[in-house]
Chain A
Amino acid sequence: MSEIHPALILLAGGLLLFALPTTPRRIASACLPVLGFLNLLTIAEGTLWHITWGGYELTVLRADRLSMLFGYLFHLAAFLGAIYALHLKDRLQIGTGLIYAGSAVGAVFAGDLITLFIFWELLAITSVFLIWARGGERALRSGMRYLVMHISSGLLLLLGAVFYFLNTKSLAFEHIGLDKGYHYLIFLSFGIKCAFPLLHNWLIDAYPESTPVGTVFLSAFTTKTAVYALARGFAGEDLLIYIGATMTIFPVFFAVIENDLRRVLSYSMINQIGFMVVGIGIGGALGINGAVSHAFNDVIFKGLLFMSMGAVLYRTGRMNATDLGGLYKSMPWTCACCLIGAASISALPLFNAFISKPMVMQGVANMGAVGIWLVLLAASAGVLHHAGIKIPFFSFFAHDAGIRCPEAPLNMRIAMTISAILCVAIGSYPPLLYNLLPYPVDYISYTTTHVVLQLQLVFYGVLAFAFLMLTGRYPSEQPSVNLDVDWVYRRALPKGIRAIARTGGPLIDAFFNGGKALIRKLIAAIRTQHNNRGLFGRSWLSQSNVLIAIIFLAIYLIYYF
């Protein structure tokens, strides 16, 4: 029986990496996820660790089948990411990458809302460095927008937790549901991290701005932690079925016209998370098994696709479909791995999505929800189209862009190859994954019907692409920026505010001066409350402290905008 918290090895080890010289750092970075995994194996299901903090009992570790599955998954993803990052000389990416992975592990093992909140914010703070690691103004601004969204998500969680505690006298993170108004605060918090429609833009905005290694790490942890949290707290909520179905279908249209291939993958990520959200909405053994098994598979095949595109970016310095093409000649190994990732995300038989996504589809069919099912089926054809065809076609085939570059570095090829083998292994032998799922699986993936219908759907989807290409109807790739929800806060809001400032300058001045005066008064008030007769000076009242902290952070956020 281990005495080490599962998140500790990655968190402390990640910090340690900053102090090590290059070679030991490389060795340690690959060993840490393995050590963490071995430690995880010693933790028995059903283990609960409590600590008492400020008079409250916190559950820093809850190991059950659901959290253990995500624990295994995150160690696997950290290991693959570390191998993929071995060529790096800088310590920032691998150091923050592993701390970020550790935060995700901490979040899925959190048994109460406060522990969850701490790791939730740690996820945001560590991951933003992976975006900033790219350097330059664009990455800096994108990272800032990302941070504002994720800190807001954390504040909503904290606020929800406070109300939850005031109403139930419990902080335990169990099924929450949507019965009470304040439950929606927590729901919204998870929704931001899970990229719900209209809250999704941070993902599209930030992930493609990160480094090759950064995006591989980013794609694995944040959204999957949110999927876990939804599965824990909101399983069986009908609303999730509609939200999830929307998530599967709308990104498909954006992905068709997007030129940046890692942005295409980001849209396809929302599409895949949509299937998981639908599964959670269905709830029950089939829905939850479908959702979490698909999350597991998605980390592997989406990671693989991001790795292959990262390798292309690393070698060519280009990521737009308009600048790429014909790379199968220079990077055949990367191309082969990318094709396996593409086959996996398209849910071809023998590849891993084939054994997870149909569980969600079957769950929808069992409910008799014909409309939702038809949407999901169209979205399946859509993801095949943009992630399964567009990604490999425009980078490795299409017209030869004349790029001649070396194959991806050996460490990248190893990471891609392991991911590719996992895609095929899990897809060909489902019990590998089924035995880890939270509920016993009584679903058979390999029936003649499933194999035939999936092959027909995929092949005729490809046929549509071939038909549109050969007849010249396919919209050509064009260098462009496509507007999304971010237009509201990147264009409309700043423009609107500037317009108001021009017309009502004095009013604005008064507003800001008033704000400053208010803050001065607040500080003065706090100062009086912190002397020995003050509210906080005289006794420990953590609920009020937490509320004050939220209000301050909210004021800061508004001012930042």
Chain B
Amino acid sequence: MNHSEERPHIFDNPGNVRRLILGFFVCCALLILTDLIVHRHLTFAEGALPVEGWFGFYAIYGFVACTLIVMGAIPLRKMIMRSEDYYDE
């Protein structure tokens, strides 16, 4: 198949990518707002981890955990990254 004759695909249009990301941001906003309406049941017994019931706990935890994991991997990479033929030498 020739690249130049190809029909454009959905994400070749930057507008579509923008729309997807925007839609995703809206979903995130709506999801955290559900905490105002939905009363979440606690996973732990009363008093063991009260922070779990706070507004946006899971959202913030998910965001922070993912960010810290990626940030933590950067110094790890400095320590353990070698060239691809390291073991072939």
User: Are A and B interaction partners?
Assistant: yes
Residue of A whose beta carbon sits closest to that of B32 = A456
Cβ of B43 within 8 Å of any chain A Cβ, yes or no, is yes
Q: What is the interface of chain A mostly: helix, strand, loop, or mixed?
A: helix
Among A90-98, A238-246, A301-309, A472-480, the one that faces the other chain is A472-480
CA distance in complex: A311, B56 (Å): 39
Q: Which residues of chain B are near A373, meaning CB under 8 Å?
A: 43-44, 49
Size of the A side of the interface (Cβ < 8 Å), in residues, is 56
B77 CB, nearest partner CB in chain A, Å: 4
Using known A-B contacts A329-B9, A456-B58, A457-B62, determine if residue A448 contacts B38 with beta carbons closer than 8 Å: yes
Residues of A within 8 A of B44 (CB): 365, 368, 370, 373
Q: Which of A252, A368, A381, A449 contacts B62 (CB 8 A)?
A: A381
Known contacts: A464-B67, A480-B84, A481-B82. The answer to whether A452 contacts B38 by CB under 8 A is yes
Question: Distance (Å) between the CB of A270 and the closest chain B CB?
Answer: 15
Rounded to whole Å, the gap between the CB of B25 and the closest CB of chain A is 8
| B73 nearest CB neighbor, chain A only | A256
Number of interface residues of B (CB under 8 A): 50
Mask of A442-459 contacts with B, CB within 8 angstroms, 1/0: 000001110011111111
9-residue interface stretch from A225-233, A482-490, A529-537: A482-490
Residue of B61, B76, B85 touching A254 (CB-CB under 8 A): B76
Complex contact B21–A404 (CB within 8 A): no
CB distance from B32 to the nearest CB of A (A): 7
Residues of A within 8 A of B77 (CB): 257, 475, 482
Chain B residues near A468: list those with CB within 8 A: 67, 70
> Across the interface, which residues of B come within 8 angstroms of A329, CB to CB?
6, 9
Contacts of B87 in A (CB 8 A): 481, 490-491
Which listed residue (B32, B72, B81) contacts A253, Cβ 8 A?
B72
Closest to A478 in B: B81
Task: Write out the residue numbers on chain A whose beta carbons fall within 8 Å of the beta carbon of B27.
Answer: 459
* Pair B63/A368 contact, Cβ less than 8 Å: no
A464 to B63, CA, bound (A): 5
Give the complex CA separation of A478 and B66 in angstroms.
Answer: 20
Known A-B contacts A257-B76, A482-B82; the reply to A464 vs B62 at CB < 8 A is: yes
21 contacting pairs across A/B (C-beta < 8 A): A256-B73, A257-B76, A257-B81, A365-B45, A365-B48, A373-B44, A373-B49, A378-B68, A384-B62, A385-B66, A404-B1, A452-B31, A457-B61, A460-B63, A462-B24, A468-B67, A480-B82, A480-B84, A482-B77, A483-B80, A484-B80
Which 7 residue pairs of A and B lie closest in terms of their CB atoms, listed nearest first?
Answer: A464-B66, A256-B73, A460-B62, A378-B65, A457-B62, A483-B80, A381-B65
Given A365-B43, A373-B43, A456-B35, 12 more pairs with CB closer than 8 A: A254-B73, A368-B44, A368-B45, A448-B38, A449-B40, A460-B28, A460-B58, A460-B61, A468-B67, A473-B70, A481-B82, A484-B80
